[in-house]
Amino acid sequence: MEFPHGASVPIHEGGKPKILYLITPAMRGGAQTHVLGLACGMRQDFDVAIATGEEGFLPEACREEAIPLYVLPHLQREISPIADARAFWEIFKLIRRFQPDLIHAHTFKAGFLGRLAGRLLGVPSIYTVHNWLFGTPAVSRYWSALGGPCERVAANWCERVITVSEAGARLAYRHLIEPQSKVVTIHNGIPDCSERATLSSDRSPVITMVACFTEVKDHDVLLRAFASIPPGPRLRLIGDGPMRRSSEKLAHELRIQDRVDFLGDRDDVPLLLASSDVFVLASRFEMFPISILEAMRAGLPVIASDVGGVREAVVHGETGLLVPSGSIPALAQALTQILSNLDLRLHFGHAARQRFRERFLCAQQEDCTRSVYLDVLFGCGDVAAGLPPRRRVPYPGV
């Protein structure tokens, strides 16, 4: 990549601007997959590093990809004044050590502390919102009361706020994250792969949901809806989390345990989706779930709760069916409609695959994000964001 003529950023060995990605939790999930994909996609043009608060999926993947990694032991999701102060100091020291030209923060805690540290050290920052902690029914009153004021304050410390859906941008405007010109929408994207679903009537249909077992994912609604449809199909639940035991207990209470497979956290999700017939996501709220993109990539029809930015991916009646969140009858009816009609599954699956290729490949997300990086790095965003000028030196060789 050639940088604009006359551009200026600090000089580093190797001649590339440096990007530090910050994220709080490291378990397998949409935000972690997003950060990993960005770091892999950007390292041709930037020197990248990732910092997170724990061991798990993301650090393991960083080591496999030879991406520089920093684990900050006090950076945790729970609010704790002492631990949070220590986490801030860990981030502050890391920024001084790594000397990034740009901080790209993800998730609430890393986003708040990272933007504050960047502001104090004069390093510009960008914050990607994967889920606002306000304005949604899936967030507790405590987090909503805390999240709104914190996000409004922290928005003043960064150059851009990236939302992964238009629904997320509307929430930002509604809750006075200003100026609105600072908010940019970039849909999630993922790489293509060779695994494809083969939909047929030669076997009993398989329904798959990929999600962490948390309250917001509402596995119980899916289990109750599944229990109300005629026997025959199987249900596979991929993921782990604090609500898994209660979901397993509910499956026994509903007497469907012999038809439900709890597969846990898996690293072969593309293969499992390719052997499925229908994908379901019953969440109470989503910003723009990567799991739906994975299902569309596999060519699966999608049934999903009509919440957040889901309808920006799933087109009702074209690539799948949208149902009201929390409605067991509506979800059961959608399951029955798709499971009883192979032609409909084939039509939805083909359309979902086409929509994925046209709109949600990782290259499109990376191109849009790279444009934001260049805008911030080369000074276009400073005046508009009302930020003080940063000291720069000429970038070599341009």
Question: In which residue are the tokens 């846990």 written?
Answer: 264
Separation between Cα atoms, residue 291 and residue 237, nearest integer Å:
12
What are the beta bridge partners of residue 209? 237
Dihedral class, residue 396 (left if φ above 0, else alpha if ψ from -120 to 50, else beta): beta
Beginning with the edge strand found earlier in the chain, give each strand of the sheet holding 234-238 in spatial order. Answer: 260-264, 234-238, 206-210, 278-281, 302-305, 320-323
| pLDDT tens-digit map of 105-158 | 999 999 999 999 999 999 999 999 998 766 566 566 666 667 778 888 898 999
Average pLDDT over residues 289-304: 97
Radius of gyration of the chain (CA): 22
Domains of the chain: 18-189+361-377 (3.40.50.2000), 206-359 (3.40.50.2000)
pTM value? Answer: 0.86
Element (H, E) at 112: helix 108-121
- What is the per-residue pLDDT across 21-59, written as a single tens digit (0 to 9) for each? 999 988 888 899 999 999 999 999 999 999 999 999 999
Residue 380 in this model has a pLDDT that exceeds 90: no
Distances (CA, A) of 209 to 82, 221, 226: 38, 12, 12
Strand partners, 261: 236
Residue 191 has pLDDT above 80, yes or no: yes
- Which amino acid type is present at position 288? F
- d(Cα 129, Cα 107) in Å, to the nearest integer? 6
User: What are the pLDDT digits (tens) for 56-113?
Assistant: 999 999 999 999 999 999 999 888 899 999 999 999 999 999 999 999 999 999 999 9
Region of 6 (left: φ > 0; alpha: ψ -120 to 50; beta: rest) is left
pLDDT of residue 384: 35
Percentage of the chain exceeding pLDDT 70: 87
Give the residue-averaged pLDDT of 228-240.
96
- The pLDDT of residue 392 is above 50: no
Q: What amino acid occupies position 326?
A: G
